[in-house]
Structure 1
């Protein structure tokens, strides 16, 4: 496609507008799509054993864990 010099790995490649429009899918590697959510997928597992616990307030110890900086990852997950 390009006749220019090779670029070091990780550096952006410079192309003109016509090259970019013609070869867009090759110039922009896209991440694979995440699987779609399928409603009802977990119905085969049966009903929740104790659904009332979902609405109860958390214990102070558990709330402290979720509120601490250690509970959240330092970099966003993709």
Structure 2
């Protein structure tokens, strides 16, 4: 869905808030980012559904020392 801006610069208000949100991070993602997104989503009214993705999934040690480790692969989130 694309929001169109009127000639006078006004953006039409959405009729209802999005219930599904997709977040994609370029670079190293981690479990903590995902948990923070879930906490935020559950606090919204109505609660949101979050999809989280990243180009690299890092374990805690790789997150602290990125030059020494390879990213994990194949993790899916629900």
Q: Name the TM-score, length of structure 1 as normaliser.
A: 0.21
* Larger strand proportion of the pair: 2
Higher normalized helix content (fraction of residues): 1
Larger RCO (CA within 8 A; separation ≥ 6): 2
Larger-gyration structure (1/2)? 1
Using the size of structure 2 for normalisation, the TM-score is 0.21
